[in-house]
């Protein structure tokens, strides 16, 4: 008795014997054969493989090669017999009305920010009088600060990416006309003093880069 890690294999000893066996779903099979016999393994998804019975008894791994059969391309359309039929049916299809529209529920404002995620609301001094416990929790809890920061980055990702592109090395060097060496020293200075956020316009960002470059140059010349 032996086992191969494949399901439902047909096995036949092809030398000195006419024994045939089929493995079970776990790959176990039972077949009377001698060490000098060869074993023919057949399976619908593998190529026919001939191995030595002695190799199985010695515990060697038997690797079967999978069959790959190419078939002709098949196009499946939900409507008609061609792409044009499908396109026509799709264009004429009536848009599905959502449950919210059926019930005439109010739509959420895309600019709505939950109170506990709104830094402006949490910084309002009146909030401490209205709900002092919530104020202290949301304002100073480390976990809530991290959640607000993640929410801020996700909500303003496109704007932040736009600002980061404006603050690229190539753009800073283009605006300031600084050299590679000057950029290495100016870049930390700019990051430390930069005030623009994701709400700034392109002109405001470029103007601030130019402003801090002029100030950096003035301070650098004083040191010299």
pLDDT at 5: 46
Last residue of a domain, one of 10, 42, 57: 57
Q: How many domains does the chain have?
A: 2
Task: Let me know if residue 193 belongs to a domain.
Answer: yes
Token couple for 111: 């600019």
Residue 208 has pLDDT above 80, yes or no: yes
Range of the domain at 192: 158-223
Residue 149 has pLDDT above 50, yes or no: yes
Residue 79 has pLDDT above 70, yes or no: no
Last residue of a domain, one of 11, 36, 57: 57
Q: Which has more pLDDT, 64 or 2?
A: 64
Short-list 172, 167, 176, CA closest to 197: 167
Task: Let me know if residue 200 belongs to a domain.
Answer: yes
Residue 15 has pLDDT above 60, yes or no: no
CB 37 within 8 A of CB 17: yes
Last residue of a domain, one of 11, 37, 57: 57
CA distance 9 to 15: 19
Strands 2-3, 20-22: pairing is unpaired
pLDDT at 6: 45
Q: Which has more pLDDT, 19 or 129?
A: 129
Question: Tens digit of pLDDT for each residue in 103-136?
Answer: 776 666 777 777 778 877 777 878 778 788 887 8
């Amino acid at each position: 008795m032996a086992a191969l890690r494949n399901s439902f294999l047909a096995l036949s000893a092809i030398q000195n014997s006419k024994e045939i066996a089929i493995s079970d779903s776990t790959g176990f099979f039972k077949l009377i054969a001698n060490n000098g016999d060869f074993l023919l393994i057949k399976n619908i998804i593998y190529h026919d493989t001939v191995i030595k019975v002695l190799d199985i008894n010695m515990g060697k791994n038997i690797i079967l090669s999978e069959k790959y059969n190419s078939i002709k391309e098949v196009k499946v359309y939900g409507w008609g017999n061609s792409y044009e039929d499908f396109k026509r049916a799709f264009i004429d299809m009536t848009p599905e009305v959502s449950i919210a529209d059926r019930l005439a529920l109010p739509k959420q404002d895309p600019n709505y920010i939950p109170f506990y995620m709104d830094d402006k609301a949490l910084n309002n001094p009146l909030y401490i009088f209205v709900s002092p416990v919530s104020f202290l929790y949301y304002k100073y809890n480390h976990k809530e600060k991290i959640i607000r920061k993640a929410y801020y980055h996700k909500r303003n990702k496109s704007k932040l990416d736009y600002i980061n592109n404006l603050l690229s090395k190539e753009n800073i060097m283009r605006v300031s006309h600084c050299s590679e060496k000057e950029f290495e020293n100016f870049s930390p200075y700019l990051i430390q003093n930069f005030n623009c956020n994701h709400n700034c316009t392109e002109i405001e960002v470029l103007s601030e880069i130019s402003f801090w470059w002029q100030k950096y140059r003035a301070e650098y010349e004083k040191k010299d």
